[in-house]
Structure 1
Amino acid sequence: MPQSLKPKSIKLLHYEEKKDDKRIFRQGVTLIEYEGQPSKIIQWSQLVEGDPFGEHETTYRINYGSESILRSFKVKYLGREGDKHRVLIKEGVSGCGTKTKRIENKELLVPDKLYQPYPLQQKSEEGKDPNPIECEICKAIVSVLCGLLAEGVAESVACDEACGEVCLIFIEDPVIYGICVVICIPSCDELLQLIISLGVATACGLGGEYLCQKAGLCC
């Protein structure tokens, strides 16, 4: 199994936001610190043009290491359902890293707390527990990955497919979306090896909470 990806902390080092009647521009710097691995610094910006609760276009630029990623989504807000928001991605490009896939007319349910950035929790004791953001991403990966494996998707492409779907859940929150684009594939690779070692039916029956704890991505 690959070396553990257990994070010590995720910190929002810089954040700024500018708004006018038709645009919201956000940019920031996020630091991910790992145990036994180099830290990752993510520089990101998000531009939302239009009505966030109507028709709007969201554009991201994400830089980390030598990678520079540009993503754009045309989105239509469909309404609130309980503690979630239903949105339609009319068109866009999903995927993590340099691997991309065009999407059209895909509906998503986005949790209420992800509809705008919120302060990240700072850990008082480094290394005690993984950050809850990484845990939420992990559980989303398990849910999608198990579904794909049950459908017979090949293990060699399962993580590319899973991460293309998982990160879309977070597109309205620039902090979490940027983190997801960077960490999803390596996290998914580790989870996939864990699922294979336990057996797909057994592992997926245990659920995301258990698997993410075993992978060190949830406390």
Structure 2
Amino acid sequence: MHIKVCHKGLTTHKIGIYIHDDLIISLMTKKIKSVKVLHFDESTEKEARIQQASILIEIEGEKPKLIQGTQVLKGDANGNHTINYTIFDGKNIGKATYSINTMEKNKNDSKLKIVGISEGKACCGDSKPIDTTLVVSNKTYSSNDPSIQCDICQALVKEICEELADGIPSDEICVDVCVAGAGDICLLFVETLIGYLICLSICASLCALAIEEITDYGCSVGAEYICQKVGVC
């Protein structure tokens, strides 16, 4: 299955690193061979929490890709706070700044108002404004947590099925859900550096794989079943 989507202003590598250009997005359904967190550390400096991570992504038929990211969180992590991301994919640097208001916090999830903008040529889109309200999981991910890919996939499948139900063509959906913006699925993982980096890195490939399985089995079988067929749950 080979999906080509004309979308002016954005293009993507097959592992989901978004680069501003007037080219065609080309997504291949290639299996994700491995996702490894090579490094993670956390420190506190001037009332800011700083996390750094390096992640190695291996996708079938592709050279291994090293993604490095830094997250700086200032303010009340359970209330109003800002998150700044700097991400490097080996060639390009991307930055994103999000102002986040925790509107409601429950045992398993939180309702967040997210406003911000991303810029640069790696991962985050290019000057893409964000203004959205989402319910996100409170789950935090340790290094090499195998549930990360499964959680990302299930979130993707739910969004893909909603868009299919709304009549959006399948060859346009991955652009809609993986490119930074209010509909970007990776905003569901914005609070956790490891989850956010991995989501940005594999979203495009995982989306194409999920659509292939949905084409075969439909949405009625559920997100968990689709993601088991994809091989990440």
Task: State whether TM-score is above 0.5.
Answer: yes
- How many Å apart are 1:74 and its aligned residue? 0.8
> Which residue in 2 is equivalent to 1:120?
144
Kindly indicate whether the alpha-carbon contact (under 8 Å) linking 1:40 and 1:64 is maintained by their aligned counterparts in 2.
yes
1:175 equivalenced with 2:194 (yes/no): yes
Q: How does 1:1-219 map to 2 (within 5 A)?
A: 1=1, 2-8=28-34, 10-20=35-45, 22-34=47-59, 37-93=62-118, 98=125, 101-104=128-131, 106-114=132-140, 118-121=142-145, 131-163=146-178, 164-196=183-215, 198=216, 203-218=218-233
- How many Å apart are 1:3 and its aligned residue? 4.8
What SS is found at the alignment partner of 1:89? strand
> In 2 relative to 1, CA 51–169 (structure 1 residues): closer, same or farther, beyond 3 Å?
same
- How many Å apart are 1:37 and its aligned residue? 4.1
**Identity score, percent:** 31
Distance 1:119 1:55 in 2: 26
Distance 1:194 1:92 in 2: 33
- How many Å apart are 1:170 and its aligned residue? 0.2
**Which AA in structure 1 matches 2:195?**
I
- How many Å apart are 1:99 and its aligned residue? 6.3
Q: State the TM-score, normalized to the length of structure 2.
A: 0.76
- How many Å apart are 1:97 and its aligned residue? 5.4
> Which residue in 1 is equivalent to 2:23?
none
The alignment yields a C-alpha RMSD, in angstroms, of 2.5
- How many Å apart are 1:101 and its aligned residue? 4.0
Distance 2:177 2:93 in 1: 21
- How many Å apart are 1:109 and its aligned residue? 1.9
Kindly indicate whether the alpha-carbon contact (under 8 Å) linking 2:116 and 2:129 is maintained by their aligned counterparts in 1.
yes
**Which AA in structure 2 matches 1:63?**
F
Distance 2:154 2:127 in 1: 22
Number of equivalent positions: 201
Distance 1:83 1:56 in 2: 19
Kindly indicate whether the alpha-carbon contact (under 8 Å) linking 1:7 and 1:217 is maintained by their aligned counterparts in 2.
no
Question: Structure 1, residues 89-122: CA drift from partner, whole Å, max 9, x if none?
Answer: 1334499554674221x222222223xx52334x
Kindly indicate whether the alpha-carbon contact (under 8 Å) linking 2:154 and 2:224 is maintained by their aligned counterparts in 1.
yes
Question: Structure 1, residues 3-36: CA drift from partner, whole Å, max 9, x if none?
Answer: 532333x322112222146311111211233455
> In 2 relative to 1, CA 44–141 (structure 1 residues): closer, same or farther, beyond 3 Å?
same
Kindly indicate whether the alpha-carbon contact (under 8 Å) linking 2:100 and 2:115 is maintained by their aligned counterparts in 1.
yes
More helix by percentage: 1
Distance 2:171 2:129 in 1: 20
Consecutive unaligned residues of structure 2, counting only runs of 5 or more, are 2-27
> In 2 relative to 1, CA 15–113 (structure 1 residues): closer, same or farther, beyond 3 Å?
same
Consecutive unaligned residues of structure 1, counting only runs of 5 or more, are 122-130
**Which AA in structure 1 matches 2:135?**
L
Distance 2:60 2:136 in 1: 30
> Which residue in 2 is equivalent to 1:125?
none
